[in-house]
Structure 1
Amino acid sequence: MKKKTFVLGASLKSERYSNIAINRLVNYNHEVVAFGLREGTVAGIKIDTNLMPYKDVHTVTLYLNSERQKAFYDYIISLQPERVVFNPGTENPEFQNLLKQNNIFFEEACTLVLLGTNQY
């Protein structure tokens, strides 16, 4: 089953992990939506600079540090994703507690590793 994934903290810079993740997700045929500071396209995916009312998001994968995540707590919870992936460097106990309270599964993992080991 392919999982619609929202990449939060998407970058146009090819060396950034969020950029690599978008490319890999597309290669694995997952539907991808993305939000970042700069508008552009990565692997055919438009990076939105405004928060959109995405529907049927299975996974939110985070590429923002814990401080920058705060502005997105309510928005992410409103999407009611199946899970939130805290990639290395994005761990956030405060947000994880909010996700628990809203019955949203989360894991501290690397999207790239999950994809590469067929655990996504």
Structure 2
Amino acid sequence: MAYRLERINKEIKRELSNLIQSELKDPRISEMVSITKVKTTNDFRYAKVFVSIYGDKNRQAENMKGLESASAFLRKELGKKIRLRYTPELIFEIDDSIDYGMHIDSILKDIKKSEKEDES
């Protein structure tokens, strides 16, 4: 079951990425939106879609509004492309792991810089 769920998550991620880039015409959704991960519940009723959006917080909020308003369309199109008993309801969330990684990286650089200054 876990293998099937993982396979379906990858398929949903791939199809949603294609749909967002090629089918959505909403001006609120920029081309800098990428799906980083999909987590589907065991009963396939809900899929949490993690998206990475390049830009400031206002731009991210606009993109999320656009994605949420397009979720019914995306779900319908996803149902046509992936044959499941239930097409999962899409729940979009911002994935800030890239920002978090950049923050950790800058902290590590600051630590190295301060260590070099202490040695001199």
- TM-score under structure 2 length normalisation: 0.25
Compare the two structures and name the one with the higher helix fraction. Answer: 2
Kindly indicate whether structure 1 or structure 2 has the higher relative contact order, using CA contacts under 8 Å at least 6 residues apart. 2
Compare the two structures and name the one with the higher strand fraction. Answer: 1
- TM-score under structure 1 length normalisation: 0.25
The structure number with the bigger radius of gyration is 2
